[in-house]
Amino acid sequence: MDVTFSCIIWLLFTWLSIIALNSIFRGTKPAFRKLPPGPNELPIIGNLLALGKKPHRSLAKLAKIHGSIMSLHLGQLTTIVISSKSIAKQVLLTHDSSFCNRSVPNALLAHQHDDFSMIWLPASTAWRTLRKISNSHIFITQKLDASQDLRRKKVQQLLTYVEENCHAGKAIDIGRAAFSTSLNLISNTMFSVDLADPKSEFRELVWNIMVEVGKPNVADYFPVMKKIDPQGIKRRLTIHFGKMLGLFDRMIDQRLKLREVPGYVKTNDMLETLLNIMENKTEAINRDYIRHLFLDLFDAGTDTTSNTLEWAMAELLQNPEALSNAQLELEETIGKGNPVEESDITQLPYLQAIIKETLRLHPPAPFLIPRKSSTDVEINGFTIPKDARVLVNVWAIGRDENLWDDPNTFLPERFLGSNVDVKGRNFELIPFGGGRRICPGLPLAIRMLHLMLASLLHAFDWKLDDGITPEEMDMEDKFGITLQKAKPFLAIPVARK
């Protein structure tokens, strides 16, 4: 969301040419509507400069001045920022029907992605169909249990890679290793194949998409510039999306041919399930919806999972006592030398607490996915106007001193014996969102996170690279499509005794 100085200067110079359009698009505020309070704005650019390089932190600070429901004008867009548990619950649950549509970034109009994407579609018949398929056929326990052998093999490959570096005494880029593993975990769940092979371009393709989507885009703040695409983000994303969709077409065609071969043995993967639904016409979906669903799952499931794992490992190495507690629990529950299984996770409360604490401090999407109000809604005496973009600052909620003791400290023990979870029922911890648009891939993401982290902690000891002490660790974050570590986290695996 950070707009570079060059873009700001350019916008200021074009003030005379767009001021008339600005007034038309922004409109005037009716006298009877009381917008939430907010900071003073500049002509044309509004409050864009207030965002800075780390909007989640900047807006959390502004919320302490203006309140937990706050309005800003970002270019031509009225934006409402929510920074408290109680108001988040009103937006995501009480008034969910008024806030269940999305504010779609301009770049994601590439290849009409917004017309087929479960993430970006409005609450419509098509969206409800995709949601039903996800909840009833793809992410249900039975289907995920049936495909866990595929994920087990990918985690074992990760451990083999770590072991090779362990013998060589080399540090591992945890985020990069987790990114490749997450890609293969998802691709095997979808297609029963590896797509993040070092020799393929797929890993870099997904990475490039993450980079483009995470860039601040002038066209998102000034809709009049959408057709111009001044930064070329949509043009580049059109190329990347085209390559991804072409790959999915080839995977679908190959599977359809295999299904025609006599004696074909069906797989337990997602593609098989979706093709069965399409051919049996049990739900109204077609090939376009399937291709864009795959695009959603790769884009939403890789960077988020790998970044969370990287943050978890970094926090544990900065807090050796928590690391020791986690390894002791794994040893007592699973036993030395035994592999971790997905079915073991329910018996590992401290590991679960580590994941919750990591998601509290470092939510992958600090503002969730932007919502858009479909009508004027009154909340706490203020009016959220129709078509306003609504951001829920879950990063700020996760560090709210009114909700959490010592909120900036990594303390997994706070969740031991607690019923608070990440499934959208407890609005003090909603890294996956809440209401009807909660992330549908949550069950798979939770399995992947716990399995990868538990396996890395159980198989190896870990030490920091270059003689760095826990006190010297760089724990700065960087805002993008996900909340990343500012610098890659390197750690050296050590054989366990």
Burial (0-12, 13-18, 19+ Cβ within 10 Å), 381: exposed
* pLDDT of 188 strictly over 80: yes
How many other β-carbons are positioned within 10 Å of the β-carbon of residue 38? 23
pLDDT of 134-177, one tens digit each?
Answer: 999 999 999 899 888 888 999 999 999 999 999 999 999 999 99
Nearest-angstrom CA–CA distance, 350 and 137 = 31
Our count of domains for the chain comes to 1
pLDDT of 231-288, one tens digit each?
Answer: 999 999 999 999 999 999 999 999 999 999 999 988 888 999 999 999 998 888 999 9
**Residue 48, in any domain of the structure:** no
- Report pLDDT for 284: 87
pLDDT of 383-438, one tens digit each?
Answer: 999 999 999 999 999 999 999 999 999 999 999 999 999 999 999 999 999 999 99
Q: Which residue has the tokens 């549509």?
A: 101
Determine the residue type at 387.
Answer: D
**Band (11; pLDDT cuts 50, 70, 90):** low
- Report pLDDT for 201: 81
**Residue 446, in any domain of the structure:** yes
pTM: 0.92
- Report pLDDT for 150: 84
pLDDT of 339-387, one tens digit each?
Answer: 999 999 999 999 999 999 999 999 999 999 999 999 999 999 999 999 9
Domain with 443, as residue range(s), is 125-495
Contact between 415 and 421 (Cβ < 8 Å):
no
* pLDDT of 30 strictly over 80: no
- 3-state DSSP of the chain: CCCCHHHHHHHHHCHHHHHHHHHHHHCCCCCCCCCCCCCCCECCCECHHHCCCCHHHHHHHHHHHHCCEEEEEECCEEEEEECCHHHHHHHHHHCHHHCCEECCCHHHHHHHHHHHCCCCCCCCHHHHHHHHHHHHHHCCHHHHHHCHHHHHHHHHHHHHHHHHHHHHCCCEEHHHHHHHHHHHHHHHHHHCCCCCCCCCCHHHHHHHHHHHHCCCCHHHHCHHHCCCCCCCHHHHHHHHHHHHHHHHHHHHHHHHHHHCCCCCCCCCCHHHHHHHHHHHCCCCCCHHHHHHHHHHHHHHHCHHHHHHHHHHHHHHHHCHHHHHHHHHHHHHHHCCCCCCCHHHHHHCHHHHHHHHHHHHHCCCCCCCCCEECCCCEEECCEEECCCCEEEECHHHHHCCCCCCCCCCCCCHHHHCCCCCCCCCCCCCCCCCCCHHHCCCCHHHHHHHHHHHHHHHHHHEEEEEHHHCCHHHCCCCEEECCCEEECCCCEEEEEECC
Gap between the terminal Cα atoms of the chain? 47
Q: Which residues of 389-402 are buried (b: 16+ CB within 10 A; e: fewer)?
A: bbbbbbbbbbbbee
CATH number at residue 240: 1.10.630.10
**Residue 37, in any domain of the structure:** no
Burial (0-12, 13-18, 19+ Cβ within 10 Å), 453: buried
**Residue 131, in any domain of the structure:** yes
Mean pLDDT taken over the chain: 91
